[in-house]
Amino acid sequence: MIAADRPLLKIQDLHTRFHTLDGVVNAVDGVDFHVLRGEVLGLVGESGCGKSVTALSILQLLRCPPAEIQGRILFEDEDLLRLSKEDIRKIRGSGISMIFQEPMTSLNPVLKIGEQIAEAVRIHKEMNRRESWQWAVEMLRMVQIPSPGSRSRQYPHKFSGGMRQRAVIAMALSCQPKLILADEPTTALDVTIQAQIMNLMLRLKEEFNTAVVLITHDLGVIAEMADRVVVMYAGKVVEEAPVRELFKDPRHPYTLGLMGSIPVIGRKEKTGRRLHEIPGLVPSPLEKPQGCRFHPRCNKVMDICRVKEPPVVRPSETRRVSCWLEAEDGGRV
């Protein structure tokens, strides 16, 4: 394998558990996927399926205990879970960086915007205060904040939601990380601002050749942004495919269900069909169903689904799906 093909991030059999008073919660339960250099990987699923916990596990931002992370997280062939606290701290920001969902709360209200970015720069780069401040202003210019010089001297409460998210992106990109974990970066924003932020992220990604793990429940965003998609359900990967193939030919009933839940203007008139919903909720991580975790909500459920976990089937080199419908023997035992 040549170096360029080698994935930037490779997650193998990741388990993240939380030890709580009610019992052990398996939030992430044997997840594996990889991210190539410079690509956008979409991580899709409903609330509570383990997307965010996966991202937090990669950067080890969870408090351990109560959390416990197992498996392998290879970043440039280095297992992050084996690194010391100090080494993982050095990777945060310079190797892997994260953008959070809430732009309103992800900036410190008592520090000037420029100060927060400059501080992040100084952690990883040998710069004095003035150089790092100039760098911060430059980053603000890059995320298209008007008059970045004076804006950098303002406090976050003077910024609107969209501008704050730009500032957060500037902070995350300030040390040119190779990978950005974007946890629902546009969910809290207006639709028009969403599009701006997404375009900005795509442009910056090209400019810095950064890989992005885009965590979202919005398949529209995925269709626009992602190269490949990993669909998660109840702490497991149920389907993985290049984005076009996924939308053309979704295999897992859960993916189908997600796609059916996207509103399409004019569909009702054309087909007489109402918006589809997946009945029920993501099961509580404390009491996950036997067999396939999706079976209580699946409209194609078979007997075997209730008893045995489905195998991982690979219809092609770039795809995989975990469902009895796809299995060779069609689920007969």
Partner 1 sequence: MAEKEGYTSGPPKRVTDSQLRRKWAKLKRNKAALFGGVLILLFVIGALLAPVLFKGNPSAPNLMNSLEPPSLKHPLGTDELGRSILGRIIYGSRVSLLIAVGVVSVGVIIGIPLGLVSGYYGGKVDFVIQRITDTLLAFPGFLLALGLVAILGIGLKNTMISIGISMVPIYIRLVRGCVLSVREEVYVEAARAVGTRDVVILLRHILPNVMVPVIVQTSLSMGTAILFAAGLGFLGIGVQPPTPEWGAMLGSARSYLFTAPHVATFPGIAIFLAVLSFNLFGDGLRDALDPRFRI
Burial of 131 (0-12, 13-18, 19+ CB in 10 A): middle
Residue with smaller CB distance to partner 1, 102 or 227:
102
Q: How much of the chain is in helix, strand and coil states, percent to nearest 5?
A: 35, 20, 40
Going from the C-alpha of 162 to that of each of 169, 177, 196, the distances in angstroms are: 11, 22, 9
Residue with smaller CB distance to partner 1, 35 or 107:
107
Residue with smaller CB distance to partner 1, 112 or 252:
112
Residue with smaller CB distance to partner 1, 91 or 137:
91
| Distance between CA atoms of residues 294 and 254, nearest Å | 7
What minimum distance in Å lies between the beta carbon of 171 and partner 1? 6
Coil, helix or strand for 264?
coil
Residue with smaller CB distance to partner 1, 182 or 226:
182
What minimum distance in Å lies between the beta carbon of 97 and partner 1? 6
What minimum distance in Å lies between the beta carbon of 102 and partner 1? 5
- Of the candidates 81, 52, 79, the one whose C-alpha atom is nearest the C-alpha of residue 64 is 81
| Distance between CA atoms of residues 162 and 103, nearest Å | 8
Query: Given the DSSP bridges, would you call strands 228-233 and 236-242 parallel, antiparallel or unpaired?
Result: antiparallel
| Distance between CA atoms of residues 15 and 332, nearest Å | 29
Residue with smaller CB distance to partner 1, 155 or 208:
155
> Can you give the binding site for partner 1, defined by CB under 8 A?
59, 61, 63, 89-94, 97-98, 100, 102, 105-111, 119-120, 123-124, 155, 157, 168, 171-172, 174-175
What minimum distance in Å lies between the beta carbon of 128 and partner 1? 16
Residue with smaller CB distance to partner 1, 160 or 318:
160
What minimum distance in Å lies between the beta carbon of 156 and partner 1? 8
What minimum distance in Å lies between the beta carbon of 134 and partner 1? 18
What minimum distance in Å lies between the beta carbon of 174 and partner 1? 8
Amino acid at 167: A
Residue with smaller CB distance to partner 1, 90 or 306:
90
Long-range contacts of 302-308 (CB under 8 A, 24+ apart): 302/331, 303/331, 304/331, 304/332, 304/333, 305/331, 308/333
Q: Which residues contact 215 (CB under 8 A, 6 or more apart)?
A: 43, 51, 52, 54, 55, 181, 182, 183, 184
What minimum distance in Å lies between the beta carbon of 56 and partner 1? 8
CA angle 58, 312, 13 (to 5 degrees): 25
| Distance between CA atoms of residues 3 and 333, nearest Å | 42
